[in-house]
Structure formats: C-alpha cells, structure tokens
Amino acid sequence: MRGVVALELRDVVKRYGARAALAGVSFELAEGSALGLLGPNGAGKTTALRLLLGFAAPTSGEVRLRGLDPRDPRARVGVGFLPERVSLPDRATVTGAVALSAGLAGLQGADRGAAVAEMLDYVGLGDRARDRIGELSKGLRQRVGFAIALIGRPALLLLDEPTSGLDPLGMRDARTWIQRARDDGAAVLLCSHVLSEIERTCDRVAILHGGKLAASGPIGEVVRDGESLEDAFVRLVSA
C-alpha cells in the first residue's frame, strides 16, 4: 500500500522562454521519510522547490504539496522552508524575523514568545536575539534561517543547501536539527551538494541532470556495489 504523500511532482515541465528548467520530472516524498534532491548547478533543484512552494507555476504537469495545489495556502500549513540564500531585511531583528514566521505558522500570544525564545536557544542564537539581521555573519544568518524553518514543528521541511555558510560545528548542529525533525516525524526534502550530508540524513535520492530525472530511489538501489554516492552521482550526471 502506498504511504501518504507529503509532496509530489508528476511529469512536471517548467520552461523559461525556450529553456526547460525541468523537462518531465516526477518524484514524490512519503510523509515521515527524507529525500535527497541532487544535481549539478542548474539541474533544476531550486526550480523544483519553487514549484513545490507555489512561488511559480509549472508549464505542464502536476505539483502537489500535502495533497493540494501548492498555490493553495492550506497546502503550506505545517511546511518549513530554508532557502539557499537566507536573505531577510537587514533592519529586522533576529527575534522579529523568527516571531513573524512563528505567527504565520499559527503560534499565538505567550506560546509564540516562548517558542521563539526556545528556538533561538536551540539554534544557538539566544544571545543574539536583539541583533539586527544586517549585523550577522553568513553562518549566523543561516542559523536564523533554520529557526524560521523549524519553528512551529513543521511536518514537512524543504531545505535548499541548508549547510551553506556554516562552519564545521554549525554543519554538525544542522545535521542534528534535521535528524531531530525527522525523529519527530517530519518529512524532509533536502537539496544539497554535500553528498555525505545526504547519505547521513536521507533514505532516498532523486538526481536531476539538465532538468531531467537521471535516477531516483533508495540510496542502496541508486548506488552500485563498491560505489560511493559520489561515484554514482558522477556516473549519472556524466552519462
């Protein structure tokens, strides 16, 4: 029997003028599982995320997020998103940025304040709560991005290069946060160039190349005997 699907792309084509960023891509993510979305630069990973969040519409094909059209706001209830480049207004404070996300996630009143304070401590920003975003380093901004994505205990996490800009300690923290979210039952779609991160976090992978799906399935099926995930990735995108 098929598990409940957290997200799904079916025969999706996305064109920008004559160029196809995605050309007939299909994959899905079951609730509670983790999928690594891999591909060289320009393969279409970020485009797929944009479609899943309803930021753009597919040229053809079907995109479903939690069973709904992603442009329907109800589809994004319980969804946490971390973009590749965490860009927030420089003049906003750390607390303000996270509190807004908490409010939009449905947290209200005292619960919201407590959740924000707890989340900032969780991602190591408890002592930077009053700082402005513009005063933070890239790594600290990434931690703010994690706080924004994780607040409200989302049931589905969409993470685009989540360890970008983090130092080794930060990368280890990020893996812990993602793993804890998984342990809490969240489904995770992880776009990353760091293949070791995918191997540690995900049970399945989908590899995009030139806007097409080069391979997808459990990591054990995509990787041949004696190969690492990196070897399999190179083989598939060089073919």
Partner 1 sequence: MSAFLLLWREALLDALRRKLVAAIAVASLLSLMVLDDCAGCAPAVNVNGQTQDLTSAAPVLGIALMIVVGLWVVTLAGLLASDHLAQSLEDGHATAALARPVRRHEFAFARLAGTLTISLTAGALLLGMTAFWLVTGKELAAGPALLAGLACIPGCIAIAAFAMTASLALPRIAIWLLVFGIVFITTVAALLSLSGPQPPGFFSAIDHFGPPIASAMIRALAPWLPGTPLPTDFAAVLARGVVWAALGLGSLAAAFRRIELR
Q: Which residues bind partner 1 (CB under 8 A)?
A: 50, 53-57, 73-77, 79-81, 83, 85-92, 96-97, 100-101, 103-106, 108, 148, 158
For the bound state, the minimum distance from the C-beta of residue 163 to partner 1, rounded and expressed in Å, comes to 18
Q: Identify any residues that bridge with 160 across adjacent strands, giving them in sequence order.
A: 191
For the bound state, the minimum distance from the C-beta of residue 211 to partner 1, rounded and expressed in Å, comes to 17
Burial of 51 (0-12, 13-18, 19+ CB in 10 A): buried
For the bound state, the minimum distance from the C-beta of residue 82 to partner 1, rounded and expressed in Å, comes to 9
Which residue number, 34 or 65, has a Cβ lying nearer to partner 1? 65
For the bound state, the minimum distance from the C-beta of residue 217 to partner 1, rounded and expressed in Å, comes to 28
For the bound state, the minimum distance from the C-beta of residue 192 to partner 1, rounded and expressed in Å, comes to 18
For the bound state, the minimum distance from the C-beta of residue 66 to partner 1, rounded and expressed in Å, comes to 11
The type of residue at 2 is: R
| Residue 80 CA to its chain's centroid (Å) | 8
Interior/surface letters 99-121, b for 16+ CB within 10 angstroms, e for the rest: bbbbeebebeeeebeebbeebbe
Sheet harboring 60-65: ordered strands across? Answer: 19-30, 5-16, 60-65
Query: Is the separation of the CB atoms in 150 and 181 below 8 Å?
Result: yes
Which residue number, 79 or 191, has a Cβ lying nearer to partner 1? 79
Which residue number, 111 or 230, has a Cβ lying nearer to partner 1? 111
The type of residue at 61 is: G
Query: Is the separation of the CB atoms in 149 and 157 below 8 Å?
Result: yes
Per the listing, tokens 């080794």 go with: 168
